[in-house]
Structure 1
Amino acid sequence: MIPLEILEKYDAVRRLYKKSEVIFDKDKLATHYYQIISGVVKMNNFNDEDREFIQGFFYAKHCFGEPPLFLNRTYPANAEAIEDSELICISKTNFLKLISENPSVSIMMIENLAQRLHYKSVMAAEISTQDSEHRLLQLFDYSIAYFNFKKEEDGYHIDLTRQQMGDLTGLRVETVIRTIKTLEKKGELKIVNRKVYR
């Protein structure tokens, strides 16, 4: 995303987060821009029944949690490291200064936000109108493109747990497992050593 040397010119700070450590909580005022150097971060919400809904996963070179910085609003979700992660963060004031002084970075940010908005629109339509097979295939295909999953001998490895697949699509884990088996029978994907390949 934003080159580290540019971030460092605007007093960015590197921080280490342990697995399961919370980076920020839902409803807290957004104060920093975060970008991942290494590791994985998830953003999530919980409903009244304490069921988790995952908004997304973010990997090395991805940023997360920045939309509220432009709106002076609170975070709409929690952010948590799902493995030991190194992040670089910059204060809101310095981030907005960086954006205004670097037009090429502004364009990158707009493209990134547009990509996420597109994903949310596609998945919202899938969750509300489509069956489980269609939802999972849409998630897999989008994940291959957006997360740059690498093609292996058996296809693209969908590096998500069954629980994560369910949380991203609004499906129960049992439904995810059944649907994956059905899709394998139809030749839409492969299962090799419990790993899913598209």
Structure 2
Amino acid sequence: MIPQETLLNFGAQIKHFEKNSLIFSENDIARNYYQIVIGAVKMNNFNDEGKEFIQGIFYKNQSFGEPPLFIDVKYPANAVTLSESNIIVLPKSKLLLLLEKHPEIHLKITQSLAQRLYYKAIIASEISSQEPGHRVLRFFDYLKNDVYKLHGEFNFKIPHTRQQIADILGLRVETTIRAIKNLEKKGYLKIINRKVYR
């Protein structure tokens, strides 16, 4: 989102994280801006029964955890690496200075946050009212069209496990597996070597 060179010029560091590393915890005070160079990060919570709910998954060139930086609140979720990752870390004070000096970047961050809010509203609507197959397909289309910006048939390999998809959409993993199989039968997806393509 923010050019890497610009971040480094304002004092950012690139930090290496192993898979399953905790970057920050729910209720931590937000002190840094994070942007992924390589790897993937999930933001999650756990309910009282210990079930995980994935708030979002972020990939190369995406940032995560920004809203608390701007409104001085604690993080509402944990951030955990899904794979070995290199992440740019910029202290909050330096981010605010960067945005002051580069209003065009400020606008891009605002647009990105607006897109995430829009997506959250869609997912909330899907979870409350739509059947599982519809939820799964809508999520895959969001990833393909909005995150990876791909076009064409069956050229997008879904980068999540069935369990992660279930956790994001508030479904049981068995329900997710059935929904994916039904979508394949209807011709909406292809499954090749257990990998799902949209």
Q: TM-score range by the shorter chain?
A: over 0.9
State how far apart, in whole Å, the 2-side matches of 1:68 and 1:84 are: 25
- For structure 1, the 5+ residue unaligned runs are none
Q: Provide the secondary structure at the position in 2 that maps to 1:27.
A: coil
| Secondary structure, counterpart of 2:26 in structure 1 | coil
Q: Distance in 1 between matches of 2:93 and 2:45?
A: 27
| C-alpha deviation, 1:191, in angstroms | 1.1
Cross-structure match for 1:2: 2
Q: Within 5 A, what are the aligned runs for 1:33-182?
A: 33-148=33-148, 150=150, 154-182=154-182
In the alignment of these two chains, the number of paired residues is: 198
Q: Which letter maps to 2:166? A: G
Q: Distance in 1 between matches of 2:90 and 2:154?
A: 40
Deviations 1:62-113 (A, max 9, x none): 0000110000110111001111100111111111111111011011101110
Cα distance in 2 for residues equivalent to 1:130 and 1:154: 24
Q: TM-score, normalised by structure 2?
A: 0.96
CA shift, 1:149, in A, is 6.3
Q: In 1, are the aligned partners of 2:166 and 2:173 still within 8 Å (CA)? A: yes
Local SS of the residue matching 1:95: helix
Q: CA deviation at 1:128?
A: 0.7
Offset at 1:152? 8.1
- Contact 1:149–1:156 at 8 Å: present in 2 too? no
Q: Which runs of 5+ in 2 are unaligned?
A: none
Following TM superposition, by how much is the alpha carbon of 1:150 offset from its aligned partner in structure 2, in angstroms? Answer: 5.0
Contact 2:145–2:151 (8 Å) recurs in 1: no
Is the contact made by 1:149 and 1:157 (CA closer than 8 Å) also made in structure 2?
A: no
Give the alignment's TM-score, normalised by structure 1. Answer: 0.96
Query: Deviation digits for residues 3-49 of structure 1, max 9, x if unmatched?
Result: 11111121111111111110000011100000011111111011111
Of residues 155-164 and 119-128 in structure 1, the stretch that sits farther from structure 2 once superposed is 155-164
- Select between 158-167 and 145-154 the one with higher mean Cα deviation: 145-154
CA distance in 2, matches of 1:149, 1:173: 27
Percent identity between the aligned chains? 49
Distance in 1 between residues matched to 2:8 and 2:181, nearest whole Å = 48
